[in-house]
Structure 1
Amino acid sequence: MRLDKWLKVSRLMKRRTVANEACDNQRVMANGRSVKASYDVKAGDVLELRFGERTLRVEVLAVSEHVGKADAPAMYRELS
């Protein structure tokens, strides 16, 4: 699954276009390197998202096309 779509489905970002812009501006890293929105997300990937001064590190646990709001947090685990 594309990175921008995964970020939207997991509800880490509100819209796919916002996720796409974040990738274009190099605010998203996967496994320690900057990636494009077309990056193929796999279970086990470690993503770093920069929101201004705050950095969020998450490990991808699941990749699914359609997920309900209640199940979205089960797609990732926050890392310290």
Structure 2
Amino acid sequence: MAKVVIWGSLKPHTGGKSEVTVEARNVQELLARLGEAYPGLQPQIKRGVSVSIDGLIYREGWLQPLAPDSEVFLLPRMQGG
């Protein structure tokens, strides 16, 4: 199972948990399972999140594969211009 670190303003939507484990083959599956387990995250995920997998940040890498020992950081998507 991938270890998922919940970052910043997303943490209140997991009941204050800063780290959870999720079994998923790719980012899309990971986000779907997080949304099921923590319904408060669903609006945040729909608005957009960034995902860091083993130190690399992906903005739209929905099919990016996850290894069972991947470390994933879930971050609110940064807005700006």
For the criterion TM > 0.5, the same-fold answer is no
User: What range is the shorter-chain TM-score in?
Assistant: 0.3 to 0.5
Greater percentage in helix:
2
TM value normalised by structure 2: 0.42
TM value normalised by structure 1: 0.43
